[in-house]
Amino acid sequence: MESKLCDLFGIKYPIIQGGMQWLATPEFAAAVSNAGALGTLNSSLSKSKEEFVEMIRRTRSLTKNPFAVNISMLPNQPAGELTLDFLSAVAEEKVDVVELSGTDPTPFVPALKNAGIKVIHKSPAVRFAKKAEAAGVDAVTIVGFECGGHPGMDDVTTLVLIPSVVDAVSIPVIAGGGICDSRSYAAVRCLGAEGAVMGTRFVATKECVIHPNFKELILKATERDTGIVQRSIKNAARNYKNPAILKLMDMEANGKPTLEEILAIVSGKRQKECYETGNIESGAIPMGECAGRIHDILTVKEVIDEIVTGAAKLLK
């Protein structure tokens, strides 16, 4: 488990919890960090800077180990957008690691680095990874086409994308997309990644706060049960093919739905309600293709332990 990421972030294992919107709570992030990996707190859980600071402090009270904060940024800053407040909060609180995504990180990196914070930028393609490196980030997360959530628009798989980015940049690369166990982890390390980020596998854990219906859904899913939507608005997203997503796939294949029609199905508010009530038929459920390879609900520590011990044997 030797990796540049271990020294860079002060962690035992180079395994990182994905942003997992609505699910990346202080308690969950702390559970991952306490198991030796890097837990992640999602800023989207907060409605104000003050609330976000409180969540950071709560996470810190639950683990002595480093953890990250995920901040998804918009290309512009409309009224009511809290990105700048969140960035200010992490600098003031001197959070260990920040993962940025969504737009060019260049304007935000200097202030974070001056506060002693390590910066990761999530990128879906080689060209964006090179731009992030030029901006001064410490590492890049690269997600292949298999990943749940947003894989980018290029449809390039993890197997091809990871070594391409490793060859193109000099900073550590964190691989995402299709990783759920020791075999897939060992594979991306052999491709040159310094570590891995996982989302879907961490959803199917005992500590995850999502309704049990969704955990059971992952266990029953096959590698063919997810699909890509939102291509029409250039925001490709992989979700479980429930009735709502199948409807949107049909709308996009046979016409051009309006932004309002798309958001009526995939809005974060609707997703959050589904997560809380257990409604698996409605809303967008981000899920990676690796769901077809997940067959049990484990503790976070059990997931990480399997990767650590299994990958060591494979790589040996």
Element (H, E) at 310: helix 300-315
d(CA 11, CA 94): 17
Q: What is the pLDDT of residue 152?
A: 87
The answer to whether 204 touches 270, Cβ cutoff 8 Å, is: no
Q: What confidence score (pLDDT) does residue 103 get?
A: 86
Residues 6+ apart with CB under 8 A from 2: none
- Cα three-residue angle 68-102-144, rounded to 5 degrees: 80
- The pLDDT of residue 21 is 86
CB neighbours (10 Å) of residue 196? Answer: 31
Amino acid present at 140: V
Per-residue pLDDT reduced to its tens digit, 107-163: 999 999 999 999 999 998 999 999 999 999 999 999 999 999 998 899 999 999 999
Q: What average pLDDT does this structure show over 44-60?
A: 96
Query: 185's torsion region: left (phi>0), alpha (psi -120 to 50) or beta?
Result: alpha
Cα–Cα distance, 76 to 161 (Å, whole number) = 28
Percentage above 70 pLDDT, the chain: 98
Q: State the pTM of this model.
A: 0.94
Q: What is the pLDDT of residue 80?
A: 54
Token readout for 278 is: 């257990």
pLDDT at residue 292 is higher than 70: yes
Residue 192 has pLDDT above 60, yes or no: yes
- Mean per-residue pLDDT over the chain, rounded: 94
Q: Which domains does the chain have, with CATH numbers?
A: 4-206+296-315 (3.20.20.70), 212-277 (no CATH)
220 Cβ contact list (under 8 Å, min separation 6)? none
pLDDT tens readout for residues 56-108: 999 999 999 999 999 987 655 454 578 899 999 999 999 999 999 988 999 99
**Digit-coded pLDDT (tens) for 234-283:** 999 999 999 999 999 999 999 889 999 999 999 989 999 999 999 999 99
Q: Quick one: average pLDDT of 27-38? A: 98
